[in-house]
Homo-oligomer: A and B are copies of this chain.
Protein backbone atom coordinates (compact mmCIF):
# COMPACT_ATOMS: atom_id res chain seq x y z
CA UNK A 1 0.00 0.00 0.00
CA UNK A 2 1.08 3.55 -0.71
CA UNK A 3 0.32 5.37 2.50
CA UNK A 4 -0.48 9.00 3.11
CA UNK A 5 2.84 10.66 3.82
CA UNK A 6 4.92 8.20 1.81
CA UNK A 7 7.52 9.84 -0.40
CA UNK A 8 5.89 8.97 -3.73
CA UNK A 9 6.31 12.14 -5.74
CA UNK A 10 9.09 13.85 -7.64
CA UNK A 11 8.52 17.47 -8.54
CA UNK A 12 10.99 19.85 -10.20
CA UNK A 13 14.01 18.20 -8.61
CA UNK A 14 12.61 17.29 -5.21
CA UNK A 15 11.31 14.05 -3.73
CA UNK A 16 8.27 14.59 -1.53
CA UNK A 17 4.82 13.23 -0.63
CA UNK A 18 2.06 13.95 -3.11
CA UNK A 19 0.08 15.83 -0.45
CA UNK A 20 2.80 18.50 -0.43
CA UNK A 21 3.20 18.87 -4.20
CA UNK A 22 2.01 22.21 -5.52
CA UNK A 23 2.57 24.32 -8.63
CA UNK A 24 1.99 28.01 -9.20
CA UNK A 25 -1.44 29.08 -10.49
CA UNK A 26 0.32 30.69 -13.45
CA UNK A 27 1.97 27.48 -14.50
CA UNK A 28 1.00 26.99 -18.14
CA UNK A 29 -0.34 23.56 -17.25
CA UNK A 30 -2.95 25.27 -15.09
CA UNK A 31 -3.69 28.18 -17.45
CA UNK A 32 -3.73 26.45 -20.83
CA UNK A 33 -3.35 22.70 -20.33
CA UNK A 34 0.00 23.41 -21.98
CA UNK A 35 1.65 20.09 -21.22
CA UNK A 36 1.76 16.36 -21.78
CA UNK A 37 1.67 13.21 -19.68
CA UNK A 38 2.13 9.47 -19.53
CA UNK A 39 0.84 6.65 -17.39
CA UNK A 40 2.64 3.34 -17.00
CA UNK A 41 2.28 0.52 -14.50
CA UNK A 42 4.01 -2.48 -12.98
CA UNK A 43 2.87 -6.08 -13.51
CA UNK A 44 5.92 -7.54 -11.81
CA UNK A 45 6.47 -5.98 -8.37
CA UNK A 46 8.39 -2.73 -8.70
CA UNK A 47 9.27 -3.23 -12.40
CA UNK A 48 7.62 -0.68 -14.73
CA UNK A 49 6.13 -2.37 -17.80
CA UNK A 50 7.06 -1.08 -21.27
CA UNK A 51 8.71 2.00 -19.84
CA UNK A 52 10.74 2.51 -23.03
CA UNK A 53 7.58 2.71 -25.09
CA UNK A 54 5.99 5.17 -22.68
CA UNK A 55 9.09 7.35 -22.63
CA UNK A 56 9.24 7.32 -26.40
CA UNK A 57 5.62 8.47 -26.58
CA UNK A 58 6.31 11.14 -23.94
CA UNK A 59 9.14 12.41 -26.15
CA UNK A 60 6.89 12.35 -29.22
CA UNK A 61 4.17 14.30 -27.42
CA UNK A 62 6.71 16.83 -26.14
CA UNK A 63 8.11 17.31 -29.63
CA UNK A 64 4.63 17.77 -31.09
CA UNK A 65 3.97 20.73 -28.79
CA UNK A 66 7.52 22.03 -29.07
CA UNK A 67 8.39 21.37 -25.44
CA UNK A 68 11.84 20.36 -24.32
CA UNK A 69 11.67 17.75 -21.56
CA UNK A 70 13.84 18.69 -18.58
CA UNK A 71 15.02 15.09 -18.08
CA UNK A 72 16.32 12.39 -20.40
CA UNK A 73 14.74 8.96 -20.66
CA UNK A 74 17.41 7.30 -18.47
CA UNK A 75 17.04 10.08 -15.87
CA UNK A 76 13.26 9.60 -15.77
CA UNK A 77 13.73 5.85 -15.36
CA UNK A 78 16.10 6.49 -12.45
CA UNK A 79 13.60 8.84 -10.79
CA UNK A 80 10.81 6.29 -11.19
CA UNK A 81 13.06 3.58 -9.71
CA UNK A 82 13.89 5.84 -6.79
CA UNK A 83 10.20 6.59 -6.16
CA UNK A 84 9.22 2.91 -6.31
CA UNK A 85 11.86 2.17 -3.74
CA UNK A 86 10.97 5.09 -1.46
CA UNK A 87 7.22 4.42 -1.33
CA UNK A 88 7.37 0.67 -1.58
CA UNK A 89 4.58 0.41 -4.16
CA UNK A 90 4.64 -2.98 -5.91
CA UNK A 91 1.79 -3.10 -8.43
CA UNK A 92 2.39 0.57 -8.97
CA UNK A 93 0.84 3.10 -11.30
CA UNK A 94 3.31 5.72 -12.54
CA UNK A 95 1.97 9.12 -13.64
CA UNK A 96 4.39 11.48 -15.42
CA UNK A 97 3.54 15.06 -16.42
CA UNK A 98 5.49 17.92 -18.00
CA UNK A 99 4.19 21.45 -18.61
CA UNK A 100 5.65 24.57 -20.18
CA UNK A 101 6.17 25.95 -16.68
CA UNK A 102 5.58 29.28 -15.02
CA UNK A 103 4.29 32.16 -17.18
CA UNK A 104 3.86 35.16 -14.90
CA UNK A 105 2.14 37.29 -16.07
CA UNK A 106 0.09 35.06 -18.36
CA UNK A 107 0.66 35.35 -22.11
CA UNK A 108 -0.70 33.09 -24.84
CA UNK A 109 2.65 32.88 -26.62
CA UNK A 110 5.47 31.00 -24.91
CA UNK A 111 7.44 32.87 -22.24
CA UNK A 112 10.85 34.17 -23.29
CA UNK A 113 12.57 31.69 -21.02
CA UNK A 114 10.81 28.35 -20.71
CA UNK A 115 11.53 26.34 -17.58
CA UNK A 116 9.25 23.30 -17.77
CA UNK A 117 7.50 21.91 -14.71
CA UNK A 118 7.88 18.19 -14.32
CA UNK A 119 6.41 15.76 -11.86
CA UNK A 120 5.96 12.04 -11.33
CA UNK A 121 3.55 10.38 -8.89
CA UNK A 122 3.83 6.69 -7.99
CA UNK A 123 0.99 4.89 -6.25
CA UNK A 124 -0.15 1.34 -5.57
CA UNK A 125 -2.94 0.44 -8.03
CA UNK A 126 -6.31 -0.91 -7.04
CA UNK A 127 -6.54 -4.49 -8.39
CA UNK A 128 -8.67 -5.02 -11.50
CA UNK A 129 -12.30 -5.69 -10.50
CA UNK A 130 -12.65 -9.48 -10.98
CA UNK A 131 -16.15 -9.10 -12.46
CA UNK A 132 -14.67 -7.38 -15.52
CA UNK A 133 -13.50 -10.70 -16.99
CA UNK A 134 -16.69 -12.47 -15.87
CA UNK A 135 -19.36 -10.02 -17.00
CA UNK A 136 -17.52 -7.46 -19.11
CA UNK A 137 -18.40 -3.79 -18.87
CA UNK A 138 -20.98 -1.46 -20.37
CA UNK A 139 -19.94 1.29 -22.79
CA UNK A 140 -21.80 4.16 -24.40
CA UNK A 141 -21.21 5.86 -27.77
CA UNK A 142 -20.63 9.60 -28.06
CA UNK A 143 -19.65 11.94 -30.89
CA UNK A 144 -15.92 12.68 -30.85
CA UNK A 145 -15.74 16.40 -30.09
CA UNK A 146 -11.98 16.52 -29.61
CA UNK A 147 -9.40 18.48 -31.55
CA UNK A 148 -7.62 17.11 -34.61
CA UNK A 149 -4.38 16.11 -32.85
CA UNK A 150 -5.54 13.25 -30.65
CA UNK A 151 -2.20 11.56 -31.31
CA UNK A 152 -0.65 13.94 -28.76
CA UNK A 153 -1.08 12.81 -25.14
CA UNK A 154 -1.77 16.34 -23.93
CA UNK A 155 -3.42 17.81 -20.85
CA UNK A 156 -6.31 19.17 -22.95
CA UNK A 157 -8.66 16.45 -21.74
CA UNK A 158 -11.94 18.28 -21.18
CA UNK A 159 -13.87 16.37 -23.90
CA UNK A 160 -12.45 13.11 -22.55
CA UNK A 161 -13.41 13.71 -18.93
CA UNK A 162 -16.88 15.04 -19.81
CA UNK A 163 -17.48 11.88 -21.86
CA UNK A 164 -16.17 9.63 -19.09
CA UNK A 165 -18.42 11.34 -16.55
CA UNK A 166 -21.41 10.86 -18.87
CA UNK A 167 -20.55 7.16 -19.13
CA UNK A 168 -20.30 6.79 -15.36
CA UNK A 169 -23.65 8.52 -14.88
CA UNK A 170 -25.21 6.01 -17.27
CA UNK A 171 -23.75 3.14 -15.27
CA UNK A 172 -21.12 2.50 -17.95
CA UNK A 173 -17.37 2.10 -17.70
CA UNK A 174 -16.31 3.83 -20.89
CA UNK A 175 -17.50 6.23 -23.59
CA UNK A 176 -16.48 5.24 -27.12
CA UNK A 177 -16.06 8.13 -29.54
CA UNK A 178 -17.11 8.19 -33.19
CA UNK A 179 -16.70 10.65 -36.04
CA UNK A 180 -18.58 10.72 -39.37
CA UNK A 181 -16.22 8.12 -40.77
CA UNK A 182 -16.43 5.71 -37.84
CA UNK A 183 -15.26 4.81 -34.37
CA UNK A 184 -12.03 6.46 -33.18
CA UNK A 185 -11.25 5.38 -29.60
CA UNK A 186 -12.52 5.46 -26.03
CA UNK A 187 -12.28 8.47 -23.70
CA UNK A 188 -9.27 6.77 -22.08
CA UNK A 189 -8.80 3.60 -24.12
CA UNK A 190 -8.32 2.07 -27.57
CA UNK A 191 -11.17 0.10 -29.15
CA UNK A 192 -11.10 -3.35 -30.77
CA UNK A 193 -13.97 -5.29 -32.36
CA UNK A 194 -14.10 -8.89 -33.55
CA UNK A 195 -16.12 -9.93 -36.62
CA UNK A 196 -15.96 -13.53 -37.89
CA UNK A 197 -12.73 -14.22 -36.06
CA UNK A 198 -10.95 -11.15 -37.46
CA UNK A 199 -9.87 -8.27 -35.27
CA UNK A 200 -10.57 -4.65 -36.25
CA UNK A 201 -9.17 -1.48 -34.74
CA UNK A 202 -8.74 2.18 -35.72
CA UNK A 203 -5.85 3.02 -38.09
CA UNK A 204 -3.02 5.05 -36.54
CA UNK A 205 -3.05 8.78 -37.30
CA UNK A 206 -4.07 12.10 -35.84
CA UNK A 207 -7.53 10.92 -34.75
CA UNK A 208 -6.27 8.59 -32.03
CA UNK A 209 -3.51 8.16 -29.50
CA UNK A 210 -0.92 5.57 -30.50
CA UNK A 211 -1.72 3.16 -27.67
CA UNK A 212 1.24 1.39 -26.09
CA UNK A 213 -1.06 -1.39 -24.92
CA UNK A 214 -3.09 -1.56 -28.14
CA UNK A 215 0.16 -1.92 -30.10
CA UNK A 216 1.17 -4.87 -27.91
CA UNK A 217 -2.28 -6.42 -28.27
CA UNK A 218 -1.96 -6.20 -32.06
CA UNK A 219 1.43 -7.90 -31.88
CA UNK A 220 0.21 -10.67 -29.57
CA UNK A 221 -2.88 -11.24 -31.71
CA UNK A 222 -0.80 -11.45 -34.89
CA UNK A 223 1.63 -13.81 -33.21
CA UNK A 224 -1.32 -16.02 -32.21
CA UNK A 225 -2.39 -16.17 -35.86
CA UNK A 226 -5.32 -13.75 -35.85
CA UNK A 227 -5.65 -11.28 -38.68
CA UNK A 228 -5.78 -7.66 -37.54
CA UNK A 229 -7.38 -4.99 -39.75
CA UNK A 230 -6.88 -1.27 -39.30
CA UNK A 231 -10.19 0.28 -40.34
CA UNK A 232 -12.63 2.84 -39.03
CA UNK A 233 -15.60 0.78 -37.90
CA UNK A 234 -18.95 2.47 -38.65
CA UNK A 235 -20.59 3.09 -35.32
CA UNK A 236 -23.82 1.18 -36.15
CA UNK A 237 -21.69 -1.83 -37.01
CA UNK A 238 -20.18 -1.84 -33.52
CA UNK A 239 -23.46 -3.21 -32.09
CA UNK A 240 -23.13 -6.23 -34.38
CA UNK A 241 -19.60 -7.20 -33.34
CA UNK A 242 -19.08 -10.75 -32.10
CA UNK A 243 -16.75 -9.36 -29.44
CA UNK A 244 -15.75 -5.89 -28.36
CA UNK A 245 -12.96 -4.87 -26.02
CA UNK A 246 -10.99 -1.81 -24.98
CA UNK A 247 -7.33 -1.53 -24.07
CA UNK A 248 -5.38 0.86 -21.87
CA UNK A 249 -2.12 0.94 -19.94
CA UNK A 250 -4.12 0.86 -16.72
CA UNK A 251 -6.11 -2.39 -17.22
CA UNK A 252 -4.69 -3.81 -20.50
CA UNK A 253 -7.79 -5.58 -21.92
CA UNK A 254 -11.35 -5.01 -20.70
CA UNK A 255 -14.22 -6.80 -22.48
CA UNK A 256 -17.20 -4.62 -23.45
CA UNK A 257 -20.28 -6.79 -23.10
CA UNK A 258 -23.01 -4.18 -23.67
CA UNK A 259 -23.25 -0.97 -25.69
CA UNK A 260 -25.87 1.01 -23.83
CA UNK A 261 -28.24 -1.89 -23.12
CA UNK A 262 -27.53 -3.90 -26.26
CA UNK A 263 -25.55 -7.07 -25.58
CA UNK A 264 -22.50 -7.53 -27.77
CA UNK A 265 -22.24 -11.09 -29.11
CA UNK A 266 -23.17 -13.42 -26.25
CA UNK A 267 -23.28 -10.49 -23.82
CA UNK A 268 -20.28 -12.00 -22.00
CA UNK A 269 -16.52 -11.71 -22.59
CA UNK A 270 -15.85 -13.65 -25.80
CA UNK A 271 -13.27 -16.41 -26.39
CA UNK A 272 -10.89 -14.26 -28.43
CA UNK A 273 -10.95 -11.48 -25.84
CA UNK A 274 -10.25 -13.99 -23.06
CA UNK A 275 -7.42 -15.60 -24.99
CA UNK A 276 -5.81 -12.21 -25.66
CA UNK A 277 -6.20 -11.17 -22.03
CA UNK A 278 -4.41 -14.32 -20.96
CA UNK A 279 -1.67 -13.84 -23.54
CA UNK A 280 -1.22 -10.20 -22.51
CA UNK A 281 -0.97 -10.95 -18.81
CA UNK A 282 1.49 -13.76 -19.43
CA UNK A 283 3.58 -11.42 -21.58
CA UNK A 284 3.41 -8.57 -19.05
CA UNK A 285 4.42 -10.90 -16.22
CA UNK A 286 7.34 -12.17 -18.29
CA UNK A 287 5.91 -15.66 -18.71
CA UNK A 288 5.63 -15.51 -22.49
Contact = CB atoms under 8 A, between A and B. Distances in A.
B162 A66 contact: yes
| Copies per complex of this chain | 2
B25 A160 contact: no
Interface string A89-129: 00000010101000011101110000000010101000000
B158 A33 contact: yes
Contacts of A65: 158, 162
Interface in A173-195: 187-188
A275 interface: no
Contact of A161 (B11, B97, B108, B148): B108
A282 interface: no
A155 interface: yes
A21 B24 contact: yes
Nearest to A105: B123
A103 to B, nearest CB: 10
Contacts of A110: 161, 165
A-side interface size class: 35 or more
Given A66-B162, A108-B160, A32 B155 contact: yes
Central interface residue in A28, A30, A110, A145, by most chain B CB within 10 Å: A30
A197 B24 CA distance: 48
A146 interface: yes
Contact of A33 (B25, B33, B146, B148): B33
Interface in A220-242: none
A215 interface: no
Given A109-B168, A145-B149, A158 B160 contact: no
A120 to B, nearest CB: 10
13 contacts: A18-B25, A18-B104, A23-B25, A30-B155, A31-B155, A32-B155, A32-B158, A32-B160, A32-B161, A33-B157, A66-B162, A106-B121, A110-B165
Interface of A: 9, 11, 18-19, 21-34, 37, 65-66, 95, 97, 99, 104-106, 108-110, 119, 121, 123, 143, 145-149, 152, 154-162, 164-165, 167-168, 187-188
Given A108-B188, A110-B161, A110-B165, 18 more contacts: A11-B25, A18-B25, A25-B121, A26-B121, A28-B161, A31-B37, A31-B155, A32-B161, A33-B33, A33-B155, A33-B156, A105-B123, A109-B164, A145-B149, A147-B147, A147-B158, A156-B156, A156-B159
